[in-house]
Amino acid sequence: MKIPLKLEYACRVLIQLRPTYTTGEIRRVENLADREKISPNYLVQILNELRNAGLVESRRGKNGGYVLAQDPEAITLDHIVRAVEGPFLQLNGSTDGESGETTAKLWKTVASSIEDELKKHSLASMGDPGEAGMWMI
């Protein structure tokens, strides 16, 4: 199973925005994109999804940009995943065949365990950008 690149980028940009919750400092897309080596156009798409989920706020104008909308302690990996990807493990719901129900039940258990784990990790607990090799994503 691969973690989507968009999800990784969303986590990275939120870590960059984490200090803005207390400072109110607005971060420009160009600066965020440069710091994380992400295409600015792609980053805007990700930031719009995070904004629609209520995780970031955008400010318009010449000095516009983005700030974190919620306390980093309140934002979990589950929130981030759902903002950019939807449910982490989507089941197709098919219970056809003799083993369909058994298999579906197994995948529901796995999905529930993953969701529980994602809820344990907050944005506040993720490593700082300056800590090379210490990311906790």
Above 90 in pLDDT, residue 27? yes
Beta strands in the chain (DSSP E): 56-59, 65-68
Above 50 in pLDDT, residue 14? yes
Q: What is the mean pLDDT of residues 88-97?
A: 77
pLDDT digits (tens, 9 = 90+) for 30-45: 999 999 999 999 999 9
Kindly report the number of other CB atoms within 10 A of residue 71's CB atom.
13
Contact between 16 and 35 (Cβ < 8 Å): yes
Say what the pLDDT of residue 17 is: 97
pLDDT digits (tens, 9 = 90+) for 128-137: 655 444 444 4
Please state, for a pLDDT cut of 90, what percent of the chain lies above it.
Answer: 66
Say what the pLDDT of residue 128 is: 62
Distance CA 121, CA 128 (A): 14
Q: What is the pTM of this model?
A: 0.84
Q: What is the mean pLDDT of residues 111-123?
A: 93
Task: Collect all residues with Cβ–Cβ distance below 8 Å to 100 and sequence separation of at least 6.
Answer: 94
Among the residue ranges 8-22, 43-57, 64-78, 105-119, the one predicted with the least confidence is 105-119
Task: Collect all residues with Cβ–Cβ distance below 8 Å to 17 and sequence separation of at least 6.
Answer: 27, 32, 56, 66, 67, 68
What one-letter code names the amino acid at 123? L
Contact between 29 and 65 (Cβ < 8 Å): yes
